[in-house]
Amino acid sequence: MRGRLFCTTLFALATVAPIAARGQAAATTLDKDQIALLAKVSVAIDVAHDSTDLQLAMVGNKKPEVQEALKAKLRAQVADILTKNGLTEAQYKHETFLVSTDTGLRKTFDGQIVQLTGAPLPGGYTPPPAGRGGRGGGGGPTTPPIKVPAGAVGTHIGHVVNSFADTPGMMGLLPVAFSEARTAQQHATLGMKAANLDGMKLHAGHVINAMDPTIVTAGPGLGYGMKKAALGVATHIELAAKAPGASANVILHAGHIAMASRNAAEKADSIIALAKEVQAATTMQDAAKLLSQVVSLCDQAIAGVDSKGDGRVTWQTGGLQQAQEHVDLMLAAEKLP
């Protein structure tokens, strides 16, 4: 789903100012009914955005005046959704902020999204046991395999979500990318907590290993690298879009998936450069500052960037989560065997 609020990064939302809600002081938490309503509204808004994206991409709608009219229509739809559900824009943004910065609220919210859409959320997955695959997990091909279209289109989509020949355990490329990104994120965080500079440098090496094991060959990663996996996602989803029989739906979302995946791959270069600076650091203070930046970039590789500060991450500035969301949207709209 396009830029759901649960995909925003914490550092981006930290700048949101408290907003008065329902004519009173801004709430500091939400009850279950409020979270359920917020999830319902978020899904409705995202559906409106995806419908508009499809219309904006149509060849006959490329004139500037048509594009502006479609965007104006979307703004009106969003306002109508909020009004019908008894929320102001300020309330919606504030409650988005609360859910995005509170682990407990976010877990409840994610559960509501799953109930409403039936689409699992990559940001909240628990890696499956060894020997089983799955989005965000590890250990082998996705079991059972996710249904994909027939023919060459499905073959390439299957490489993204289910299994690919040269990955560890023949995992899908997107699950590999998630696993490697989270390993890097974990070790950057561990590096910040290390008791000495040598420990910080050790974890910096682990970060590099998870990003690109051709640079640091030994470490806790899968031995494939987030960068290679994310670029593989982009390549194979684009091959799916170019394959005979690819639907307009596949072609549309393939572009979104490819861009979000390449965004994540680009973050890998910056992450590696900073991790190398950690390895060259002479003080723990300098290393800690650098590792803090690495953590933020790992967050961005996974969750994308809220570039407008409005609590939304779109596929244009998205990461692996936005790639997964558009995979889910694409497959949900296909007539699968």
Distance CA 30, CA 10 (A): 18
Torsion of CA 6, 12, 15, 16, to 10 degrees: -30
7 within 8 A of 322, measured Cβ to Cβ: yes
Helices (H), ranges, 88-150: 89-101, 103-117
Neighbouring C-alpha atoms within 13 Å toward the C-beta of 179: 28
Distance CA 201, CA 196 (A): 9
Distance CA 223, CA 171 (A): 12
SS3 21: strand
Model confidence at 215, pLDDT cuts 50, 70, 90, reads very high
Residue 278: exposure state from Cβ atoms within 10 A (0-12, 13-18, ≥19): buried
Weakest-pLDDT range from 112-116, 196-200, 250-254, 319-323: 112-116
pLDDT digits (tens, 9 = 90+) for 242-299: 999 889 989 999 999 999 999 999 999 999 999 999 999 999 999 999 999 999 899 8
Average pLDDT of the segment spanning 140-168: 85
Average pLDDT of the segment spanning 148-167: 89
Weakest-pLDDT range from 7-11, 144-148, 273-277, 323-327: 7-11
* pTM for this entry: 0.61
Mean predicted lDDT score pLDDT of the chain: 79
Q: What is the pLDDT of residue 21?
A: 36
Weakest-pLDDT range from 109-123, 128-142, 299-313: 128-142
Distance CA 3, CA 156 (A): 24
Pick 316 or 83 by higher pLDDT: 83
Distance CA 11, CA 100 (A): 10
pLDDT digits (tens, 9 = 90+) for 301-314: 998 887 767 677 77
Q: What percent of the chain has pLDDT over 70?
A: 79
